């Protein structure tokens, strides 16, 4: 990937990750609490581990409605134990949920559209390591993701874990991520086409 392309991508993602003061009322798509009531609760977020083949990352997450802000947010427990907050955008005319990171710095964009009982499925554009233990091997990745809803609210959020095939939750996580992959083939196909244009030998994303 050329430096110019990397800088453009960083600017694009950071644009979605700009800080949003809590008192600012932003256009989140005109939804009300009743529109997203069924989603409120605690979740486990699953996505493939980009640095360790075969493992699946698990993050604790919580979907909450804030009456004072008239919007919903999802909190996600990061690897380092910090909490990242994502604003929920849900245009009424679309059967999709968009999440945009609220804090400064590198962010993620979630698009959740494949739904079934007990889970929300979709994709997430994020920048992550592609080699374990090397913080400099970052690369933009489109992840298939799955939010598995938990039966009860737990406090605090579940801690991060990278699941191996020997872990008890691995099969559930693998099946949900695979389901998200199948439900979002079009998005993944577009991403692969765009990603190829950023390989060495291309200039600014063009052959």
Query: Which pLDDT does position 101 carry in this prediction?
Result: 64
Query: Which pLDDT does position 205 carry in this prediction?
Result: 35
The lowest-confidence range among 105-109, 131-135, 179-183 is 105-109
How far, in Å, CA of 197 to CA of 85, rounded? 32
- Is residue 37's pLDDT more than 90? no
Average pLDDT in the 183-193 region? 72
Cα 148 from chain centroid (whole Å): 13
Those residues whose C-beta lies under 8 Å from the C-beta of residue 151, and which sit 6 or more positions away, are none
Q: Give which of 127, 78, 119 is closest to 97, Cα–Cα.
A: 119
On whether the pTM is more than 0.85, the answer is no
Average pLDDT in the 20-31 region? 56
Sequence ranges of the domains in the chain:
3-196
Q: Give which of 102, 95, 107 is closest to 12, Cα–Cα.
A: 107
How far, in Å, CA of 179 to CA of 169, rounded? 16
* Rg of the chain over all Cα atoms, to the nearest angstrom: 17
Average pLDDT in the 159-188 region? 90
If you classify domain 3-196 with CATH, what class do you get? Answer: mainly beta
The lowest-confidence range among 52-61, 68-77, 85-94 is 85-94
Q: How many CB atoms lie under 10 A from the CB of residue 50? A: 20
Please give the residue that has the higher pLDDT: either 174 or 104.
174
């Amino acid at each position: 990937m050329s430096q110019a392309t990397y800088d453009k991508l960083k600017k694009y993602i950071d644009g979605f990750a700009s800080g949003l003061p809590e008192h600012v009322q932003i256009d989140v798509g005109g939804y009300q609490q009743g529109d997203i009531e069924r989603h409120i609760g605690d979740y486990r977020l699953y996505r493939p581990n980009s640095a360790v083949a075969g493992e699946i990352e698990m993050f604790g997450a919580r979907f909450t409605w804030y009456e004072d802000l008239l919007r919903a947010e999802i909190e996600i427990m990061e690897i380092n134990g910090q909490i990242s907050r994502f604003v929920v955008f849900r245009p009424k005319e679309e059967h999709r949920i968009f999440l945009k990171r609220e804090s400064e710095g590198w962010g993620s964009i979630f698009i959740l559209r494949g739904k079934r009982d007990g889970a929300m499925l979709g994709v997430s554009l994020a920048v992550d390591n592609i080699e374990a233990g090397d913080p400099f091997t970052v690369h933009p990745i489109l992840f298939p993701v799955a939010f598995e809803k938990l039966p009860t609210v737990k406090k605090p959020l579940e801690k991060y874990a990278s699941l191996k095939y020997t872990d008890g939750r691995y099969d559930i996580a693998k099946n949900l991520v695979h389901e998200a992959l199948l439900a979002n083939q079009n998005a993944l196909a577009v991403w692969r086409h765009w990603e190829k244009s950023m390989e060495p030998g291309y200039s600014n994303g063009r052959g």
